[in-house]
Structure 1
Amino acid sequence: MELGEGTPRQIRQVLLLFFFLGGTLVYAETWGYSVAEEAEIGFCIANVIKDMDSSVGVEDLAARGARVIFDDYKSYLRLDLQTGNLLLNEQLDREALCGTTEPCILHFQVLLENPLQFFRAELSVKDINDHSPMFLEKHMRLKISEGTSPGTSFQMDGAQDLDVGANSVQNYTITPNPHLHVKLHDSGKDRKYPELVLDQTLDREKEPEFNITLTAIDGGSPSRSGTALIQVVVVDINDNAPEFERPLYEVQVPENSPVDSLVIRVSATDLDAEIYGELSYSFSHSSRDVQKTFEIHPVSGEVRLKSLLDFEMIQSYTINIQATDGGSLSGKSVVIVQVVDVNDNPPEIAMTSLISPIPENSSPEMMVAIFRIRDQDTGDNGRMICSIQNDLPFLVKPTFKNFYTLVTERSLDRETRAEYNITITVTDLGTPRLQTQHNITVLVSDVPEGPFPARLLDVSGAGTLAHSYQYEVCLSGGTQTSDFKFLKSVTKSP
């Protein structure tokens, strides 16, 4: 049912708000485990029994339906119910899981049913040095004016390394030469890129060009490296560098913008004439994500989408742009692109367990099902409402971290109704609102009911005093007999 329809029935709704139910439903401590990426399948991470409270033993794991549930529903680990060991279920690739994010944390829960209990845990995937630094451009061309003063520095595109921390790029070197040396520049967030510093004035008439090799070295053990060839071209004097109209541009782009959409147009000017005033726009030491998502026209300065955006993956981009004139002088500007979230992800429902049939004499608030909901959007687009039909004797209750339980509202009567078809509806609060439904069937099992009618049988004979009698209780499916005694004698009438 869509929200807002005119109907006399009210939908029982539960806003997705996290709260703690108290008691022992959610264990207060969060367990922390770690494993190196690419560890072999079956590798033992830890034993959960050691971290659980003293009331849980290894024999309880199978009896209480223990299982491991990750936030993204993947099965990275499996729980050995015979030992309590957490075992690696697949080889983990830290770069595929987290990209450049560090630390790489996978959140999960160990769930016990009957009674319901959650234990929070997180798995830290440690980086190993399994990638070499790589320059996006293997061949670079650097133009330096012959009038450039010694000490002038030239920013070069740095190498990309999928590893993080100490395993990422730590240093740069160049082949020995009398003209240039390399200087390491740290831009923050563990990103380092090289600058070439001029040692002496160049003379185009003596040496119009020369080549050097730039090497990027990571901090792993053993270390890995990558190289790029730089062709240095000495050009005639150029005394004016390009200047952008703005040092910083900020723009917002909806994540559903089509490929080739115009993001922004940047503009720079150069006071020099002819070739020295002709500008070419390009990206400068940009990340791999920028390179594969955006492109810039070298003449117009238009920045356009090269691939689709995804707010759930990346929320903002920093694009470094340079305008280079014909004499190799350049001006720089920065474009900040904020990706605007749109409601493009419907809610998800994952059923964890379902009990059916249930006995008709079940007490109120008996647990029937456990399920989990998720919406990958943010803000109102990610807020959700969970409901079932209003005319059913069941309630939906939030438990822990997007987990919900379906419980009975009152005792059931199989003779009145033996089967319930329940539709769980989850609707987000985005524009437009997206909805997901999941149908389950719950059967009600019969329970024998009493009291039963009894028929007294005289076994003493007419007209005699009897101290003991036998009675017969009539039950469906047969009879049951038993002896009883009066507290005092009675006379049997003829």
Structure 2
Amino acid sequence: MSTLTSSTPENSPETTVALFSIQDRDSGENGRMVCSIQDDIPFALKPSVENYYRLVTEGALDRETTAEYNITITVTDLGTPRLKTEHSITVQVSDVNDNAPAFTQTSYTLFVRENNSPALHIGSVSATDRDSGANAQVTYSLLPTHDPQLALASLVSINADSGHLFALRSLDYEALRAFEFRVGAADRGSPALSSDALVRVVLLDDNDNAPFVLYPLQNGSAPCTELLPRQAEAGYLVTKVVAVDGDSGQNAWLSYQLLKATEPGLFGVWAHNGEVRTARLLSERDAARHRLLVLVKDNGEPPLSATVTLHVLLVDGFSQPYLPLPEAAPEQAQADSLTVYLVIALASVTSLFLSSVLLLVAVRLCRRRGAASEGRCSVPGGRFPGHLMDVSGTGTLSQSYQYEVCLMGESGTNEFKFLKPIIPNGLIQNTKQN
């Protein structure tokens, strides 16, 4: 039995695989022949001219299912006894590019820790092609994204042959926590076939942000001072330190601790919420001003921290005027001092003037006590002393004015009723003429 090798492309129905002829040297029935092949293959024998046959495909062959067929052709005569011979044909199915590359997963999720080094290998994608030869060679590429804010070309790259991905630069979790894109896989057939898969990159947080204090502000300006009444009970809420952390998870869990205090044991800080409370009752021996240093620390590894300074002023009550701390800005302190001096000077001048008037009235009352009668008024003939009244146009009374004093006498007592100026007639006439 001889063997013949033949090749036929897949997906080609009714294709002639081989053409052969048979013969028998006998005559009559002994020379008549019957030709056949096995039944379980997609091939058939079709007679051509006398003693010639064609081996053809009955349907489209699929190389990916069966790449090779071994066909046995049996020729039997009709003599007695019957004689037969067999001939083998090996049919190899040649590949046609009828399969697109297929990814091993429909989607990929890759986890990358932030602050990675550039050119870091962050993962791979893989696709296979059931074809053979060039039809099975796969190349990878990044497909264009529809997100205008995602500059994909600056974030990741892919090796066209191996499918190894994504980081071109250091990634920042606080700026970009996750992003996704599609990767294409194409074979080198003609025409080329392709497919794509979704890739999602998730950044893992690194503890690279220290806590940031929102209150009280630590911006170098005049410190914020908290007022604390001396009557406060133990556990009194003085203030609360408010801080945030740009990280996530345990890297953003904050705890608070009192590092230093002007008077240890007087204040305490709650570890989980930053509340500053009194630890005991206050006494007269406690200082009026206190400075607290609070530590804010995250739970990262290693932990990062920040400090905040608090100023507390003890007062007898919230109605007590607030006095600025000595650390206040010099310009503000100077302005406040000048205002106080002006108020004191104005009050002194006003007091001196009122005292002088009241003293003069008292003296005149004493002189006229005997002459006063009930319901009558006396007009004193004298004038105020010049050294008290003549102030040369400073807004006080002139010595050309007189005062009318009304006294009411009853039961031996004198009472000051009213005081009003009397303008001399000459002054009134001069005024009218002017």
- TM-score, reference length from structure 1: 0.37
- TM-score, reference length from structure 2: 0.41
The structure, 1 or 2, with the larger RCO (C-alpha pairs under 8 Å, 6+ apart) is: 1
